[in-house]
Amino acid sequence: MFYEPGKTPHGLKKDPFKSCVVPRPIGWISTLNKDGSANLAPYSQFAHLTFSPPYVMFAANVKDSGERKDNVENAERTQEFCWSLATYDLREEMNKSATEVPYGVDEFELAGLEKGYGSLVKCPFVKASPINFECVHHTTLRLPGDGVGASVDVVIGRVVGIHIDEGVLTNGEIDISKTVPIARCGGPNYAAIRDVCMFKMVTPKGPVTPAPENAARKEETIGMTNGEQKKPDEGR
């Protein structure tokens, strides 16, 4: 089958698009509301963008009222947000935190979650989650959409602090069989990522000589990262 989104029908009962790119990791994003209360919600339109320095993004569709989602509003105003790893153990709490409640309602309380705090940003993260990022807002892009709720705000943040519970490490590596991250697979379908289907594959290295302009750009990057530069394909 072939269809042109928005132009020709797909002919299926449900729009298949969200089930094409799966599993989607969950951006469990928290921010501070204007009155200092906390806000928390999951976003599966979420991605790690790069690593040196690390950036992440989440994409929030505008509310039916046409307003921006609360985390977008707050991330821009306070210039910060946190990300927490959504795990299988925390799946019910993650789901409750998605409830569309009026601005100012604390979804940590709604979901029965304790707040944890870092040292670089003021907003809390999910204390029970084994991995949490403190992020500073970098930019927000508005992508136009067709109809109510279709426009989306893509929020990009730089990860300035990373908290990892050492209990989820095995031989110095994050052990996915201990964190058991969950990911969205379209509609109400989720995947829990355990070790049973994991496999290792090393990316081949080509005989690439950097062009002079790329070499210059690499120098700038090294300056920004205190020498913690990695090779382009290392560990992705």
Binding site for ligand FMN (CB under 6 A): 26, 39, 41-45, 59-61, 69-71, 95, 98, 100, 184
Q: Judging by DSSP bridges, how do beta strands 80-84 and 27-32 pair with one another?
A: antiparallel
Closest listed residue to residue 111, CA positions, set 98, 121, 120: 98
**Of the two residues 18 and 169, which places its CB atom closer to ligand FMN in the complex?**
18
**Of the two residues 99 and 203, which places its CB atom closer to ligand FMN in the complex?**
99
* Least Cβ distance, residue 49 to ligand FMN (angstroms): 15
* Least Cβ distance, residue 214 to ligand FMN (angstroms): 33
* Least Cβ distance, residue 145 to ligand FMN (angstroms): 11
What is the DSSP secondary structure assignment for residue 166, as one 8-state letter? G
**Of the two residues 100 and 114, which places its CB atom closer to ligand FMN in the complex?**
100
What is the DSSP secondary structure assignment for residue 123, as one 8-state letter? S
- Pairwise CA distance, residues 124 & 163, whole Å: 12
What is Dmax (Cα atoms) for the chain?
Answer: 56
- Identify the three-state secondary structure at position 217: helix
**Of the two residues 110 and 174, which places its CB atom closer to ligand FMN in the complex?**
110
* Least Cβ distance, residue 213 to ligand FMN (angstroms): 36
Residue 51: HSE in the Cβ half-sphere, 13 Å Cα cutoff:
9
